[in-house]
Amino acid sequence: MEREVGTSAGRVLPEGLGREIRGTAGDIAALLDGATDMGLPVPGLEWTVGETAAHLALANGLMADLAAGEERLYGDGTPQSLAAANAQSLAAFPERGAKPLAAMIVQQAEVFLDAVERGPADRTLLTPLGPMDPAVLASYLLTHMLGHGYDLARAVRRPHMIDRGRVELCLPFLKTAMPRVANADAAAGVSARFTLRVRGGEAFGVTFADSTVEVLPAPPEPSDCTILTEPVTFLLIALGRLGPWQAMARGGVLAWGRKPWLAPRFPTLFTAP
């Protein structure tokens, strides 16, 4: 029977998160096991399949080190610095083979979960996007793997592994990251109160006051714009894989309220890390 990540003092991770981290790593490995050309370009990225898989292996190792309490400098949290750190780490890591990288992705996900299990749930861990507790860092790991797993699936023309349950487990990280990845220039002068609803799941609030962004645990009262998003669409928009107008044309997003025209603008107020 598969064990859940937890300690004698209580569960470290929300129910199912450890299972979905393992499952997503396994799904990515299965994609790579069927990849015959690691030099294929990945749609929407400047990387090949081999480079994307190498980045995932390196990132899972980075997350495992962070979960163990190690300090790893990796940019300063800005998209530009993270991109530079990614390029530097890939240049220093030549492995591009499907089987070795698939094994590393799975292994480092397991190392991460073991490191989480060994420590208390209330630790503060330093990450490229600021301090997080182990549960939010695990949500970050899952989100990162799903984003690039989606990229790899598109490249090799196989079904992706994102589903509603996994998206729900990404929400703690996404809500934590929103204020940290807000685009100050795009948000300048914006004063609005949004309600975000993930279809079949939770609702929360995001408010803008000039360039200050705050995420609320519940919808604000009053709300200027309510945005209802299908779960997979929500994650793809949040990660910059799908544009708001494209999502609305597909019926994946509905908006209403006093200022429904703000809905397509909402994603542009952030820069996906």
Tens-digit pLDDT profile for residues 32-51: 998 999 999 999 999 999 99
Return the pLDDT at 24. Answer: 98
Write down the pLDDT at residue 2: 46
Can you give the pLDDT at residue 208? 96
Residue type, 164: R
In the chain, where does the domain assigned CATH 3.30.1050.10 lie? 181-269
In terms of C-beta density within 10 A (0-12 exposed, 13-18 middle, 19 or more buried), how is residue 93 classed? middle
Numbered ranges of CATH 1.20.120.450 in the chain: 17-178
Hey, CA dihedral for 254, 259, 261, 265, is it positive or negative?
A: negative
CATH of 17-178, one of 1.20.120.450, 1.20.1250.20, 3.40.50.740, 3.30.450.260: 1.20.120.450
CATH superfamily of the domain spanning 181-269 = SCP2 sterol-binding domain (3.30.1050.10)
pLDDT of the residue at 114: 97
SS (H, E, C) 220-268: CCCCCEEEEECHHHHHHHHCCCCCHHHHHHCCCEEEECCCHHHHHHHHH
The residues of the chain scoring below 70 in pLDDT are 1-10
Give the pLDDT of residue 1: 37
CA pseudo-torsion sign 15, 109, 267, 158: negative
pTM of the entire predicted model = 0.94
CA dihedral 48, 237, 161, 141 (to 10 degrees): 80
**What amino acid is encoded at 86 in this protein?**
N
Q: Which residue in 73, 227, 63 sits closest to 145, CA to CA?
A: 63
Residue 184 tokens, joined: 């100050």
CA distance 110 to 120: 17
Instruction: Print burial letters for 153-176: b (CB count within 10 Å at least 16), e (below 16).
Output: bebbeeebbbeeebbbbbbbbbbb
